[in-house]
């Protein structure tokens, strides 16, 4: 899990299907310029989250993005390590009207 001031990046859970469906996958404007298409049914969203869980389990750099204040899944992101203490967001898809902007660089604090 990675945490910023406004966001949490973590691996998806099955129960995230509903918030992803409502906040992203059913929204035509979210998919307008993407290679993926919207999900038109809840059943399709349930299948989609299972595929996302399997995909992200094999890719340590891939995460679901959660709005910290609500705990809702609002998108997904790919990360790339820049050095020992900095991760860069390399790609991000999220709810169009999300109020906060993601940090471009996430600084990892060393815990002692």
pLDDT at 107: 41
Which CATH number is 8's domain given? 3.40.630.30
Domain range for residue 90? 2-107
Which of 4-8, 46-50, 92-96, 97-101 ranks highest by mean pLDDT? Answer: 46-50
pLDDT level of residue 100 (50, 70, 90 thresholds): very low
Instruction: Please check whether residue 43 lies inside any domain of the structure.
Output: yes
Instruction: Please check whether residue 6 lies inside any domain of the structure.
Output: yes
Instruction: Please check whether residue 112 lies inside any domain of the structure.
Output: no
**Nearest-angstrom CA–CA distance, 92 and 65:** 9
Q: Which two tokens stand for residue 79?
A: 């990360």
- In the chain, the number of structural domains is 1
Do the strands 86-94 and 73-83 form a parallel or antiparallel pair, or are they unpaired? Answer: antiparallel
Instruction: Please check whether residue 9 lies inside any domain of the structure.
Output: yes
Residue from 2, 1, 39, 22 nearest 75 by CA = 22
Tens-digit pLDDT profile for residues 44-89: 999 999 999 999 999 888 899 888 889 999 888 877 666 665 555 5
Residue range 92-102: mean pLDDT, rounded: 48
């Amino acid at each position: 899990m990675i945490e910023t001031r406004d966001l949490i990046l973590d691996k998806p859970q099955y129960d995230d299907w509903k918030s992803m469906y409502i906040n992203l996958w059913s929204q035509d404007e979210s998919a307008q310029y993407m290679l993926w298409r919207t999900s038109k049914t809840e059943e399709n969203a349930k299948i989609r989250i299972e595929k996302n869980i399997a995909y992200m389990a094999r890719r340590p750099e891939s995460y679901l993005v959660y709005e910290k204040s609500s705990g809702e899944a609002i998108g997904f992101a790919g990360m790339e390590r820049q050095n020992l203490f900095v991760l860069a967001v390399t790609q991000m898809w999220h709810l169009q009207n999300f109020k906060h902007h993601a940090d471009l660089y996430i600084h990892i604090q060393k815990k002692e």
